[in-house]
Amino acid sequence: MEIKTIENYLKALFHLSNGNKTSVTNKELSSYLHFIPATVTETVKKLSELDYVIYEKSYGTRLSPQGLKMAIDMVRRHRLWETFLVQELGFEWDEVHDIAEELEHIQNKKLIARLSEKLGHPHYDPHGDPIPNEKGKFLKTNFILLANVRDKKQYVIRQTLDHSKEFLNYLKEKNLLIGRKISILKREMLDHSISYKTDKEQGIITETLSKKIVVEEIG
């Protein structure tokens, strides 16, 4: 089996399980990777034989300790490359995902170590996604979804969970970028939309969109 295929499956399992040991169904994995279920079933069985995953027909597939380590390494490389592309090469944050998808398969440890050093060992990528350190550890935070904020409190936008061009462009148009401070004016009880203001404007965020933005309370 090609190493690229192994890595893509392991990273998909990591994202679908939110980085823990939760089992992922073949249906979920098939939808995420855009492969037919039969292909996914065959592949996860092979990954199980290689001890990268634990496959249980009735429950789904979860990462083994070996698979989890490899998945985290992939996540680290991908997010470091996204940071490099934005910080050093001037790409926009909605341009870097596909390029990083190609670069993430470079496994040269010396290169990745120097890449991290060059960037100042960042904790977050341009979308606010946490970058694990060389030991695979993520920085602990008390961030929450914008959907869970409280009235009359101030927050800073820390992460966007949707990396699609449409959503990133929406955030750019609304000036709701990473690091932007927002004050919560009111959460509507009926539709759970959120009225907010920044130093430049006021606006309303729907419940659906508020579940795609991560913030940190600052006051």
What's the pLDDT at 20? 77
d(CA 204, CA 201): 10
Please state the rounded mean pLDDT for residues 133-154: 94
As a CATH number, domain 144-217 is 2.30.30.90
Lookup result for tokens 């995420």: 32
What's the pLDDT at 22? 85
104 pLDDT band (50/70/90 cuts)? Answer: very high
Q: Is the pLDDT of residue 219 over 80?
A: no
Helix (H, G, I), strand (E, B) or coil at 186: strand
d(CA 92, CA 205): 23
Residue 35 tokens, joined: 């492969």
* Angle of CA points 35, 107, 88, to nearest 5°: 100
Query: How much of the chain, in percent, has pLDDT values that exceed 90?
Result: 93
| Annotation: CATH topology of 3-63 | Arc Repressor Mutant, subunit A (1.10.10)
Q: Are 175 and 200 in contact (CB under 8 A)?
A: yes
d(CA 71, CA 9): 9
**Mean pLDDT estimate for the chain:** 95
147-161 pLDDT per residue, tens: 999 999 999 999 999
67-95 pLDDT per residue, tens: 999 999 999 999 999 999 999 999 999 99
What's the pLDDT at 37? 92
Q: Which helix (H) or strand (E) holds 160?
A: strand 154-160
The CATH number of 73-140, from 3.30.930.10, 3.40.20.10, 1.10.10.10, 3.40.1390.40, is 1.10.10.10
What's the pLDDT at 97? 94
Closest alpha carbon to 99 in 161, 122, 90: 90
21 pLDDT band (50/70/90 cuts)? Answer: confident
Q: Is the pLDDT of residue 198 over 80?
A: yes
Q: Are 172 and 126 in contact (CB under 8 A)?
A: no
Q: Is the pLDDT of residue 200 over 90?
A: no
d(CA 207, CA 79): 27
Query: How much of the chain, in percent, has pLDDT values that exceed 70?
Result: 100
26-58 pLDDT per residue, tens: 999 999 999 999 999 999 999 999 999 999 988
Do domains 3-63 and 73-140 share one topology? The answer is yes
d(CA 8, CA 138): 20
Q: Is the pLDDT of residue 64 over 90?
A: yes
In the chain, domain spans: 3-63, 73-140, 144-217
Question: Rounded to whole angstroms, what are the CA distances from 33 to 88, 153, 192?
Answer: 30, 39, 32
